[in-house]
């Protein structure tokens, strides 16, 4: 096994406003816009190509978002999955896959190649317990539970051919992969690809590149891990933020990595969450959009 390459990227700051828990960056390739959320501030944020920032307050904590085919935004809130219209600021309830019996909320979510919103939950019990799950949400509000016995569902991403889905559990520190069928929105059995130590970085949000590598935010280690389809860390990007939460590819040629982070005092001094960006020798894939992807 070859030792991973260590990279110190030339990082630039994208926003000035501090975030509590920055998460779920999504690049809109049609408008050149970066969307992301601030979970505990209950806000969806839009960064335009000109640098203008628009902040949309949500009625509850927001874990993740995705783009819709009708230009709305699908959001995973504490109170369920909703559809948000940035133009009118109207928000429409779609479904609540979690229910109120669980002490937790919706967490990482992403629109898949099938046009469904795949979103997981996170246990907020103290201590956390394996009561979280991963759900598949259709544009008609239908839901299906596709994985259980999770603690902190995270790390959703798909291979370039759409035939594999990646998924992690941040608290249980593992990465797994499923065979994926976009036509039927079905998963095969999950296969563990690797486990992580705290020093390697608990696996948080993630993305994939056009060459099939999986990029995982190591939230406990201030780094981004580029991982092969076999689960081997091939590159380590050392970041200036102590707690990166999720990367996404963006920019005109999808070769800029945007990375959100959360507020922490892990290093001995408080550092607010933010969004950083840097250019990489890799190219991402445009985002999928919520709706009937195959029509």
- The total of other beta-carbon atoms located within 10 Å of residue 207's CB is 29
What is the rounded radius of gyration, in angstroms, for the C-alpha atoms of the chain?
Answer: 17
70 is catalytic: no
Long-range Cβ contacts of 136-140 (<8 Å, 24+ apart): 136/185, 137/74, 137/81, 137/94, 137/95, 137/97, 139/115, 139/290, 139/291, 139/292
Tokens of 157: 């991403």
The catalytically annotated residue of 204, 253, 265, 279 is: 204
Tokens of 146: 């596709």
Q: Any idea what the Cα angle at residue 92 is, between residues 90 and 96, rounded to 5°?
A: 145
Task: Write out the catalytic residue numbers.
Answer: 204
């Amino acid at each position: 096994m070859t030792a991973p390459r260590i990279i110190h990227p030339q990082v630039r700051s994208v926003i000035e406003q501090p975030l509590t828990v920055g998460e779920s960056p999504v690049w809109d390739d049609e408008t050149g816009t970066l969307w992301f959320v601030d979970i505990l501030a209950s806000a969806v944020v839009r960064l335009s190509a000109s640098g203008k920032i628009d902040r949309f307050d949500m009625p509850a904590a927001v874990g993740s978002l995705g783009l819709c085919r009708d230009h709305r935004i699908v959001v995973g809130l504490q109170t369920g999955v909703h559809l948000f219209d940035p133009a009118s600021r109207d928000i429409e309830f779609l479904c609540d896959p979690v229910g109120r019996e669980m002490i937790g909320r919706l967490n990482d979510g992403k629109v898949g190649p099938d046009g469904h919103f795949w979103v997981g939950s996170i246990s907020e019990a103290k201590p956390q317990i394996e009561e979280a799950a991963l759900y598949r949400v259709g544009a008609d509000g239908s839901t299906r539970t596709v994985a259980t016995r999770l603690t902190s569902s995270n790390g959703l991403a798909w291979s370039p051919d759409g035939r594999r889905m990646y998924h992690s559990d941040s608290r249980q520190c593992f990465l797994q992969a499923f065979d994926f069928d976009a036509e039927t929105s079905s998963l095969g059995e999950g296969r563990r690809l690797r486990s992580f130590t705290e020093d390697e970085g608990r696996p948080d949000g993630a993305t994939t590149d056009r060459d099939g590598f999986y990029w995982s935010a190591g939230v406990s280690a201030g780094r981004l891990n580029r991982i092969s389809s076999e689960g081997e860390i091939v590159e380590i990007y050392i970041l200036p933020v102590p707690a990166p939460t999720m990367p996404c590819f963006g920019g005109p040629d999808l070769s800029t990595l945007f990375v959100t982070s959360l507020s922490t005092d892990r290093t001995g001094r408080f550092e607010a969450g933010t969004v950083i960006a840097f250019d990489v020798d890799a190219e991402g894939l445009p985002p999928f959009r919520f709706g009937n992807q195959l029509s």
